Amino acid sequence: MSWVLVCQACGTTIEPVEPHWRCPECSGELSITGLDALGASPRKGAGLWRWSDVLPVTPPSLGTILGEGDTPLAPVEIDGVTIFLKLDSQLPTGSFKDRGAAVLARYLVEHGRNRIIVDSSGNAAAAMAAYSAAVGLKCTVFVPASASPAKLLQARAVGATVVPVDGSRSDVAKAAQSAADNDERASYASHNWHPVFVEGVKTWALEVLEQLGGRAPDVAFIPTGGGSAFVGAWRGFRAENRDMPRLIACQPAACAPIVTAWESGSEIVEAEQGETIAEGARIALPSRPSQIRQALDESDGAAAAVDDASLRDTLRLLWRRGFYVEPTGALGVAVCRSWIARGAIRPGDVVVAHVTGHGMKSTSINQAVLDEADEAS
């Protein structure tokens, strides 16, 4: 297994000796080249580590760290169409971030780090904190002061130091980066930036291919904030060398910088900062714009937004069917429903929606969604 880091902005190629999170030459976004083709050998190992052919670290000796990987692909009929829900809400800490956190935590330990600093709107904090605890890393997480209490409690419970920061999501990231820059023993381990994180996340797509009996879906709806689930999907589907599904980046209308750029045909993604119940996608400026664009282009994909009213409606529908997911985790299904409504899903299409986070993560927002429905009835 031989791979290198490549800067998406200036093209610099870097041997993976140091655990760089962005380009040391120009601060651009990094991606990994050389881990994008699965061999034909039978899959060995457990959980997401069965895909270790295309991961930048070796599998843990016990099989998995916290039991990451192998989430269900559950079919559900909504608005007359069968949608396969990839329930990454069932990962050990309750969100898809576990895939990236498991691989990144192990990678940083292999690189001799003992302390990490991360920033998160909540789910990545919980995931990085849990995997840090499991592999013996000290973890400090910078979070927006407004993040869901359950996610922060989760990070604290597993031993992380949680630092709430007033201000925007970007302010939180800057605070974390500056803390890491000022501490020689620490590594900045941002899920939004670190190229290794996305390599772990791509295993969700590899599992979907396996669960569909080796065929690719026709279309996949993916909640998109920073873009790690979206870019991960593209890298995963590509690694199996099957037909690429149309990848749909799904954002909340109030904070949809990728959708705005996509609809205007612009290569440049401009920051947007609006309020939405999809707190995991309240990312003003995604840090992987070039890979998101490449994924949209190569998959003949699209970026699409839903307003919070539609998102609330979809949440209540999923809940009533027994799928207790958090608002961000329902973005894919909500956008999918708008496509069904305008006839954009063809009969017979195999449709997948990535469900990225569990409902227990966002109790206070869920409460408000339910109270509002009660008032309306």
Select the residue interacting with Zn ion from 26, 153, 341, 368 (CB under 5 A). 26
Mark 6-25 with x for binding to Zn ion (rule: CB under 5 A) and - for no binding. -x-xx-x----------x-x
User: Least Å distance between CB 286 and Zn ion?
Assistant: 17
Select the residue interacting with Zn ion from 4, 28, 138, 344 (CB under 5 A). 28
Q: Angle at Cα 10 formed by Cα 6 and Cα 170, nearest 5°? A: 85
User: Least Å distance between CB 242 and Zn ion?
Assistant: 31
User: Closest CB to Zn ion among 24 and 34?
Assistant: 24
Query: Distance (Å, rounded) from C-alpha 145 to C-alpha 154?
Result: 15
User: Least Å distance between CB 25 and Zn ion?
Assistant: 4
**Which tokens in the block code for residue 51?**
């895909």
8-state DSSP, 266: -
E strand or H helix that includes residue 44:
none
**Looking at the DSSP assignment, which residues form a beta bridge with residue 33?**
4
Q: Whose CA is closest to 319, among 283, 288, 362, 266? A: 362
User: Closest CB to Zn ion among 8 and 338?
Assistant: 8
User: Least Å distance between CB 289 and Zn ion?
Assistant: 14
Query: Distance (Å, rounded) from C-alpha 193 to C-alpha 210?
Result: 28
User: Least Å distance between CB 326 and Zn ion?
Assistant: 35
User: Closest CB to Zn ion among 170 and 290?
Assistant: 290
Going from the C-alpha of 192 to that of each of 97, 170, 369, the distances in angstroms are 11, 11, 28
**Which tokens in the block code for residue 52?**
């270790």
Going from the C-alpha of 73 to that of each of 70, 211, 323, the distances in angstroms are 9, 7, 12
**Which tokens in the block code for residue 4?**
């290198």
**Among 1-9, 181-189, 296-304, 317-325, the segment contacting Zn ion (CB under 5 A):** 1-9
User: Closest CB to Zn ion among 25 and 300?
Assistant: 25
Query: Distance (Å, rounded) from C-alpha 119 to C-alpha 142?
Result: 5
User: Least Å distance between CB 195 and Zn ion?
Assistant: 12
**Among 27-35, 135-143, 170-178, 300-308, the segment contacting Zn ion (CB under 5 A):** 27-35
User: Closest CB to Zn ion among 25 and 110?
Assistant: 25
User: Closest CB to Zn ion among 10 and 368?
Assistant: 10
User: Closest CB to Zn ion among 19 and 217?
Assistant: 19
CA-based R_g, the chain, Å: 19
Helix axes 149-157, 363-376, angle to 10 degrees: 160
User: Least Å distance between CB 292 and Zn ion?
Assistant: 17
Query: Does 33 sit near Zn ion (CB under 5 A)?
Result: no
Number of residues that bind Zn ion (CB under 5 A): 8
Which residue ranges make up the site for Zn ion (CB under 5 A)? Answer: 7, 9-10, 12, 23, 25-26, 28
